[in-house]
Amino acid sequence: MKISFSPPYIDEDVIKEVDDSLRSGWITTGPKVKALEEETEKLLRCPACSAVNSWMSGAILSLRWLGLKSDDEVIVPAYTYCATALAVIEAGAKPVMVDIGEDMTIDTEKILQAINPHTKAIIPVDIGGIPCNYLRIKEIINSQEILKLYTPNSDNQDKLGRIMILSDSAHSIGAKINSQSVANYVDICVLSFHAVKNITSAEGGMICLNLPTPFDNKELKKWFRVMSLNGQTKDAFTKNQLASWRYDVLGGGMKCNMPDVNAAIALAQIRKYDYLLKERKRIFNRYNSCLQKFKWTKLPFETIENGEDSHKENIESSYHLYPLRILDINEQQRDDMIMKLAETEIATNVHYIPMPSLTVFKNMGFDISNYPIANKVFKQEITLPLYPQLTDEQVDFVLENLIRVHDEVVAQK
């Protein structure tokens, strides 16, 4: 039984929506993108969402909007995909990495220690679809002690008057805290619609704006649209209307708009969000109910359910990943388990190689020994396949083989 890791959800409705775009005579940014933005605004109950071609470009544009200088710092967790820190570098500032807690989300007390007058933003990562402890992060950035350190050096930093929270919500579309989406807890929430994510447009991203007054999120949405099109004041669709050729270019933009043909894929999926979430939850719970009886497992986000971590009340995951930890093995044995699972055609993955272990960040002076929890979690982690198309039978097949290869690998030692 061949089980892939995270194939996209492509049903007849997706194909119909793409077909509609292809036959409409308009395939780049236009009505499908507008519809996808509106569906995302509805799902997240967010005042203004602006589509782009990836999480990465959404994060870069957002940080450029904030106006970072070369000695400005942005705090990120060490345990995430490289894009989280690379976006900061691309926006012209310095990433500052901090360790995670046992629940795999950013350690909020480490954030507190890392803040200094250069700190202009924090990018918490909702890993696997679990929202970070935004209540605590907001408390930190709004405390008198931290507000006193804040030293704005751009107009928007000045207007905001405090450190900005930009969530890396690449995994957490639809995840909730107290029945509200992550977008409601942060200034800017950036989603990814990359092919492996819960909702996908093959490649894509969404900037979800929830900035406080005096900012006008609906006006800002227009700014983001312009800046995702080379700073050009009219998108190609509008310019294509009869006698609507004249435009201006304001400058400072990127070319990172989302095409309609891509938006069509995500549009058909997001309309079924509740169904897709229910199916993900089914698989997640099936893994949990089998694996909880073994002493060698640490279930994903177990500390959350056991209340060991303070932010766990009323959290709803988007069930993006199943990052299992295996407590009685070393890194080599973990790799062996993955290899043995691959021999039975079961694809698994590791989330994540901590950023300080990657060459690009090592060359910048980051050292994994400063991130002990991230390093420990990495060595014990195997992510199991999790997507709506998986049948119960397939899930049981993964479980059977996981237990078998674990016992084999442990016995060999």
- Which residues would be at the binding site for ligand PLP (CB under 6 A)? 54-56, 80-81, 83-84, 125, 168, 170-171, 192, 194, 205
Please, which residue, 108 or 192, has the CB nearer to ligand PLP? 192
Nearest position to ligand PLP, beta carbon: 55
Please, which residue, 106 or 283, has the CB nearer to ligand PLP? 106
Contact between 141 and 121 under an 8 Å Cβ cutoff? The reply is: no
Please, which residue, 323 or 333, has the CB nearer to ligand PLP? 323
Q: Which helix (H) or strand (E) holds 265?
A: helix 260-270
Q: How far is the CB of 87 from ligand PLP (least distance, A)?
A: 8
| 139-165: b (≥16 Cβ within 10 Å) or e | ebbeeeebeeebebeeebbeebebbbb
Q: How far is the CB of 154 from ligand PLP (least distance, A)?
A: 24
Please, which residue, 200 or 297, has the CB nearer to ligand PLP? 200
Q: Which amino acid is at 385?
A: P
Q: How many Å apart are CA 290 and CA 339, to the nearest integer?
A: 22
Q: How far is the CB of 56 from ligand PLP (least distance, A)?
A: 4
Please, which residue, 195 or 236, has the CB nearer to ligand PLP? 195
Tokens 């998108």 appear where? 235
Q: Where are the beta strands (DSSP E) in 327-389?
A: 381-384
Please, which residue, 157 or 192, has the CB nearer to ligand PLP? 192
Contact between 93 and 163 under an 8 Å Cβ cutoff? The reply is: no
Q: Is 379 left (phi over 0), alpha (psi -120 to 50) or beta?
A: alpha
Q: Where are the beta strands (DSSP E) in 210-319?
A: 297-298, 315-316
Q: How far is the CB of 276 from ligand PLP (least distance, A)?
A: 17
**Concatenated DSSP letters for 60-125?**
HHHHHHHT--TT-EEEEESSS-THHHHHHHHTTSEEEEE-B-TTSSB-HHHHHHH--TTEEEE--B
Tokens of 389: 């198309």
Q: How far is the CB of 82 from ligand PLP (least distance, A)?
A: 8
Please, which residue, 125 or 132, has the CB nearer to ligand PLP? 125
Q: How far is the CB of 55 from ligand PLP (least distance, A)?
A: 3
Please, which residue, 41 or 168, has the CB nearer to ligand PLP? 168
Q: How far is the CB of 233 from ligand PLP (least distance, A)?
A: 26
CA angle 339, 345, 347 (to 5 degrees): 65
| 362-398: b (≥16 Cβ within 10 Å) or e | eeeebebeebebbbebbbbbbbbbbbbebeeebbebb
Q: How many Å apart are CA 151 and CA 380, to the nearest integer?
A: 40
Q: How far is the CB of 247 from ligand PLP (least distance, A)?
A: 28
Backbone angles phi, psi at 99, to 5 degrees: -75, 165
Please, which residue, 56 or 137, has the CB nearer to ligand PLP? 56
Number of Cα atoms under 13 Å in the Cβ half of residue 174: 22
Please, which residue, 79 or 366, has the CB nearer to ligand PLP? 79
What is the arrangement of strands in the sheet containing 297-298, beginning at the earlier edge strand? 297-298, 322-326, 381-384
Q: How far is the CB of 169 from ligand PLP (least distance, A)?
A: 9
Q: How far is the CB of 311 from ligand PLP (least distance, A)?
A: 19
